[in-house]
Amino acid sequence: MTQSLQAHLSIIRDPRQAGKVIHRLSDIVILSICATVSGAEGWLDIEEFGRTHEKWLQSHGMFGNGIPVDDTIARVMSMLNPKAFQTAFIAWMRDVTTLTQGDVIAVDGKTLRRSHDRKAKRAPLHMVSAFACRNGVVLGQERTAEKSNEITAIPELLALLELKGCIVTIDAMGCQKAIAKQIKARKGDYVLAVKDNQPTLHEAIVDWFDSAQAHDFKHAQHDYYEQVDKGHGRVEVRRYWVSEDLSGLEAPERWAGLRSIGMAENETHKGDKRTVERRYFISSLAANACEFAHAVRNHWGIENRLHWVLDMSFREDECRVRSGDGAEILSVVRHIALNLLRQDKTSKRGIKGKRYKAALDINYAAKVLDPILQ
């Protein structure tokens, strides 16, 4: 049975003294999500949304004691346990999202550039997110610990996700034996980018493809797929080679489930200028170039369908919330809002346009927010 977001939020402990609570914690969290869907970018905006739509909120059983001021909203939200909040979000997404065999889950990190605090000597917040490429929704996120990197955050995030039957794609930072083992143990497959952080592996794969290409792949076991895109005065040719020949790799058995190596080549022509870029990968998938191309191409969707949208439509990089864990909590709120807006099919507009429409029309906002108001 699917549980509502409010039911999942019940795992979060209210940090306030019980005798001083005027507004329910779930009301403040839901208000923050509703306001963010409708264009709010900070605590004052959230209060303003609440005051403008107080009767509507009360019709859903919230805020019997009126709308809290922005300082109260900021204080309560910033005091929440971000780990518990993220866990509630991930559990809810697992409840409401259906992943099918072969779905690509792209894992990548993003820095919230204005979240740094020089006085407190706090670096900008860096979040690692898991993005379901077919559905276009965020499945979960994990904060990277200060003075650490994504290598520690990725396993913690993967441990909370349902990976069975899915293809997990990660850039070179996540190309680690322990991460490959974890994905396979959870019955998923992987396509991991390989760069100089794995120098021996990277050199062996480059050598294999250089040698095979020098002989036009005539004697190299492989599968091949090609795509050509034309537009805006540019021609882009994307070529994909994948092989199950692991003989050139040193101890390939140390990588759990490793079955193939791959190369993706992008050749771009614009006017008289030609550029070629090659990227290399290891994978637990069989040597199917079309499937390999699908995974590689979909991974970059996390950049333009998540990170770019958060910056351009939610202005995330301009957010100056820094006190407590407010920046991390608001990051999760934006992910929830983005998922709700993306799941709405009644409007054909983009995310920014949907937020504007929600700000103008509470009836449209109610349609978008229905999954969390039930």
Does residue 239 carry a pLDDT above 60?
yes
**Distance between start and end Cα atoms, the chain:** 14
Does residue 1 carry a pLDDT above 50?
no
Residues 6+ apart with CB under 8 A from 111: 124, 125, 126
Q: Which of 124, 161, 162 is nearest to 143 (CA)?
A: 124
CA distance linking residue 173 with residue 193, whole number of Å: 8
Write the pLDDT tens digit of every residue in 36-71.
Answer: 999 999 999 999 999 999 999 999 999 999 999 999
* pLDDT band, residue 3 (cuts 50/70/90): low
Strand partners, 134: none
Phi first, then psi: what are they for 171, rounded to 5°? Answer: -75, -175
Residues 6+ apart with CB under 8 A from 201: 175, 194, 249, 250, 282
Say if strands 234-243 and 125-132 run parallel, antiparallel, or are unpaired.
unpaired
Tokens 């069989």 -> residue: 286
Does residue 327 carry a pLDDT above 90?
no
Residue environment code for 276-311, b if the CB has 16+ CB neighbours within 10 A, otherwise e = eeeebbbbbbebbbebbbbbbbbbebbeebbbebbe
Residues 6+ apart with CB under 8 A from 121: none
pTM score, whole prediction: 0.90
Average pLDDT, the chain: 91
User: CA separation (Å) from 320 to 73, 113, 172, 290, 349?
Assistant: 16, 9, 30, 43, 28
